[in-house]
Structure 1
Amino acid sequence: MAKSTPATTALEKAGIAFTLHEYDYDPNAARIGMQAAEALGIPPARLLKTLMAKAGGAVVCVLVPSDKEISLKRLAAAAGAKDAAMLPPAEAERITGYHVGGISPLGQRKRAATFIEQDALTHATVLVNGGRRGLQIEIAPADLVKATGAKAAALC
């Protein structure tokens, strides 16, 4: 089994059940989330990509299905901000403590307000990055919301 990450440690400390899935990470994939879903043989709507953004002046974490694109306008509205923009990769890595392609919404160095696409809550389980490239955590959406304090909103 994979070694623990800050994400898996956070879930274990919280007593939240999860399952780990490993796959061969392709750093050259055009869309990393889609490549992960395909490698694991799951529908892309169940694999949530973790995006780091700024809404107003605040850093936020955003979870959306790997086959969808985030609407920055909708994110800003959900966060009660005038505008939103994606963080540059280096800044996202510095804030989260994870490398791009391995950023998890769990166990981040600095906790950010988290938003989740509301449609993701309709699945029995979803997958999010486990804190390193090639590792996904399968978890019930309600437990993911509990662990991250995520606010559900229409983001895509």
Structure 2
Amino acid sequence: MRGEAGLRTDLDTLEIPFAEHEHDAVFTVAESDAVHAAMPGAHTKNLFLKDAGGAFWLVTVPSDARVDLKALPAAIGSKRVSFGKAEDMERLLGVTPGSVTPLAAINAAPGSITVVLDEVLAAAGTVNVHPLRNTATLGLSGATILDLLRHWGHRPIVASIPVQEPE
């Protein structure tokens, strides 16, 4: 696993600009709201999923999105999905719950997981994601995140992620 050191090497080697913010550990979107209030750009929520066919998915959406898990499979081209186990997340991505990020794909063998980025984030100038730990946030463009995923051998999907209507 290449980890955060490998990520930083790639950012440096590829000359990718980013903003960095160190902060207290955050484990939920609610906890991150207070920390991220001063950070410009889009904030994210990550869903580590396994489909009925056994394939793993990492879906990154805006932090305030309430994803419609019943409609999600049709939007991303998968079978019925459920949340993946922490052990699988650690084995495939090298991160634990609370530190999930599309950047963890640096640790995943190509083809072992499909990374999906919501189309709003893909088009955003600044997307705030963890650098494989929940005590920091990096601000990168959506296009840069997609470029990094491709650089690591993945074929990211950009999709309109279905959300539940507010109650």
In which range does the TM-score fall when normalised by the shorter chain? 0.7 to 0.9
Partner of 1:82: 79
Deviations along 1:22-73, one digit per CA (max 9) or x if unpaired, are 111245xxxx123223213158981112221123321111101111122223
Q: What residue ranges of structure 1 are gaps of 5+ in the alignment?
A: none
The CA RMSD measured in Å over matched residues stands at 2.5
Q: What residue ranges of structure 2 are gaps of 5+ in the alignment?
A: 150-154
Shift of the 115–42 alpha-carbon distance from structure 1 to 2, 3 Å rule, reads farther
Contact between 1:5 and 1:132, CA under 8 Å: does it hold in 2?
A: no
How far did 1:139 drift? 0.3
Shift of the 138–45 alpha-carbon distance from structure 1 to 2, 3 Å rule, reads closer
TM-score, scaled relative to structure 2? 0.75
Partner of 1:147: 148
TM-score, scaled relative to structure 1? 0.79
Contact between 2:41 and 2:125, CA under 8 Å: does it hold in 1?
A: no
Shift of the 44–105 alpha-carbon distance from structure 1 to 2, 3 Å rule, reads same
Q: Helix, strand or coil: the match of 2:120?
A: helix
Partner of 1:50: 46
Determine if the alignment matches structure 1 residue 128 to structure 2 residue 134.
no
Aligned pair count reads 149
Q: Helix, strand or coil: the match of 1:101?
A: coil
Q: Which has the larger radius of gyration?
A: 2
Contact between 2:115 and 2:156, CA under 8 Å: does it hold in 1?
A: yes
How far did 1:109 drift? 3.5
Give the letter aligned to residue 8 of structure 1.
Answer: R
Q: Helix, strand or coil: the match of 1:69?
A: coil
